[in-house]
């Protein structure tokens, strides 16, 4: 096993821990364990760092896997005890209780937020108005104080840039 490079681990932690903490905290994981997941994620990623193309995407994916593993382990213990008196649990919608779905949603949200932050401000403004607030081109143009053609052009280039940023982050389509 490779000896721990404390400086490298500290650098990964300094640069990425705040974003990882936000991501982990958005899921249903026990909030007392957020720091445990972040620390385990940083250590696992440090071990693989030379082979990683996109550090941030790999960190989020690793954190996701750790949280799912923790949820499964906790679920096994709880299920064994509660199985005999929890008929209501069996009738629930599987998407409501599936930690992977919730974790994936949080991961997607964090990755999109990171990608949007890398866009030029004018492009980000158009994307937020057209795709998040669902304004029409005319409404977005009025709010931004630019012609409709400019909104369409910015939207085209913004989506193109967003695809490039997500590709750079290692996000698959």
Same domain flag for 135 and 59: no
- Residue spans of alpha helices (H) in the chain: 6-25, 34-48, 55-82, 87-91, 94-97, 99-117, 121-127, 137-144, 148-168
What residues make up the domain containing 170? Answer: 118-173
Query: Could you report the per-residue pLDDT of 67-120, keeping only the tens digit for each?
Result: 777 767 766 554 444 444 454 444 444 444 566 677 777 777 777 888 888 899
* pLDDT confidence of residue 98: 67
Over residues 62-71, the mean pLDDT reads 77
Say whether 4 sits in a helix, a strand or coil.
coil
pLDDT at residue 134 is higher than 80:
yes
Of 111, 128, 144, at which residue does a domain stop? Answer: 111
Same domain flag for 57 and 140: no
Same domain flag for 69 and 86: yes
Same domain flag for 6 and 79: yes
Same domain flag for 87 and 42: yes
The predicted model scores a pTM of: 0.49
Same domain flag for 169 and 96: no
> Which is higher by pLDDT, 153 or 75?
153
DSSP code at position 27:
S
Rounded to an integer, what distance in angstroms lies between the CA atom of residue 101 and that of residue 27?
Answer: 10
Same domain flag for 105 and 123: no
Looking at the structure of the chain, the number of domains it has is 2
Whether 116 and 124 have beta carbons less than 8 Å apart is answered as: yes
Same domain flag for 137 and 98: no
pLDDT at residue 136 is higher than 50:
yes
Rounded to an integer, what distance in angstroms lies between the CA atom of residue 125 and that of residue 88?
Answer: 45
């Amino acid at each position: 096993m490779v000896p721990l490079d404390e400086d490298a681990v500290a650098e990964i932690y300094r640069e990425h821990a705040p974003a990882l903490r936000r991501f982990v905290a958005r899921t249903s994981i026990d909030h007392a364990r957020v720091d445990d997941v972040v620390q385990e994620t940083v250590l696992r990623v440090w071990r693989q760092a030379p082979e990683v193309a996109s550090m941030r995407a790999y960190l989020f994916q690793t954190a996701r896997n750790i949280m799912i593993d923790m949820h499964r382990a906790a679920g096994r213990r709880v299920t064994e005890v509660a199985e005999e008196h929890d008929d209501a649990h069996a009738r629930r919608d599987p998407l409501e209780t599936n930690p992977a779905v919730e974790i994936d949603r949080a991961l997607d949200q964090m990755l999109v937020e990171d990608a949007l932050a890398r866009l030029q401000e004018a492009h980000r403004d158009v994307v937020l108005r057209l795709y998040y607030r669902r304004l029409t081109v005319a409404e977005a143009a009025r709010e931004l104080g630019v012609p409709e053609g400019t909104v369409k052009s910015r939207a085209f280039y913004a989506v193109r840039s967003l695809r490039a940023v997500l590709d750079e982050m290692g996000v698959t389509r």
